[in-house]
Structure 1
Amino acid sequence: MADKNTWFITGAGRGLGIDIAQKALAAGHSVVATGRNAGRVLQAIGAHENLLTVALDITDPNAAISAVQAAVDRFGRIDVLVNNAGNFYAGYFEEISPEHFRAQIETNFFGPLNVTRAVLPVMRRQRSGQVITISSTAGLIGQEFCAAYAASKFALEGWMESLRFDVAPYGIDTMLVEPGFFRTELLVEGASTIWPEPSIEDYAERTSQTITAWRGMNGQQGGDPAKLAAALVTLSDSAALPLRFVAGPDAMAGIEDKLQTIKQQIDAHRDLSASLVFGDAD
């Protein structure tokens, strides 16, 4: 990686995307910041000589190709892709409509695929690059009220774990980022969060209580997005990009507990599992 890289960031018009763009610029890098409205992205980040803002709906493959071409036309290369754009369709599974569930997967999973598919030919020609994808603790730990969101993030995890084998021979590194609760706009209604329409009496009270609790959490999350953005720039600039970055003390605690639970479950049925091969007596 060069001392001055070109970053391509999705979802850069609000939340963590703004911080990532600003920290990358402050570190001396060039930034292509994308969002549905390029003007709003520019207003959010602030004008800079090394900044290009481009309109991009990540669910549109052709828009991704056009945005990548604009980046190459301006800066000649793309060194760091940050798949950051996403949203949150909350709710219990039975109350999430099929249309909303598909929309969740379309944005949080197929969106990053569209952008990465457009960027990889540039990185392969360069024989260098980094693909950084913002997942979530919910990408490793299923959580209540997160059936669609967790499904989209679990899909990201599997794709990125496998993608690294595809692209490593061409000098391209990958990193999954699993943040806990950060004070971003993820829980802001109308911006990133879509609450369910209550339709099943069995879920009504739990839905009301959960929405009230999560509304109260917004703006109170312990994670500092500016510090997370700075950490991502530090990791990108380091000699070795980790395959995963578990971000925040709550994320570390939750994932360590999940790993311990899996180990306990393996140990509890180790003999039965080991017996499932040809040659052993029934």
Structure 2
Amino acid sequence: MHHHPKSPPFTPSTTATITLSKDNSKCTPYIILASFFFSLLFILSLLSASTSASQSLLTIRRDPSLFPNRPVSLTKIPYGPTPPSIAYLISGSAGDSARIIRLLLATYHPRNHYLLHLDLSAPQTERDRLAVTIHSVPIFRAAQNVDVIGKANYAYQRGSSTVTSTLHSASILLRLSSKWDWFISLSAGDYPLVTQDDLLHILSYLPKNLNFVNHSSYIGWKEKFIAKTTTKPDKIYFKKMCNVQEIETDNC
């Protein structure tokens, strides 16, 4: 007697489960693809929002001084006129090399021109040492605006030779450079009361054709402040400075 195995009973729930699982397997790729696109759009929207926010913050908080490469509209500050250039003649005698250098350093400015002169009372060796000293200073050598007269002139302070030497030095300065506005003659014993920056600033507001030379014997209120010297016919010098009126009244 043969026994046949019993088949499992057929129920509707089993069929429904199989059908749903097949449908899910078909829909899964579409769901994943849609989720991917939605996620990508969401990430891109977040990135664009954060970028625009950061740019707005940078635009508000950016300091022009911290970002010099960025074009910034600066307010133009009005400046004064261009400073002039002064040609200096600094003269001295024997033993005045140190004082000439001291005065040169006190009056030096890169815009100016300087001519140093040791008269014939100084030996040629002192003149050569002065030229070597000037050449050894880096700023003088770089600017090339300081020169020393090699062939000295005779200059007597109480005679016309001083005027001749001054005019000759001015002509040398014109040959060296004509790009200066005023000429100032100083001796080794002089020393400036103002800085060169202050002096150039003041002169920059004056017309270039203005000078400070007295063209006549009338000097007005300055006459009483100028010492008038004279000598006796026998060429004996007085021991002190006297006015002409004092000499005439024998009060000197």
TM-score, normalized by the shorter chain, greater than 0.5:
no
TM-score computed with the length of structure 1 as normaliser: 0.26
The normalised TM-score by structure 2 is 0.28
- Structure in which a larger fraction of residues adopt strand: 1
- Higher fraction of helix: 1
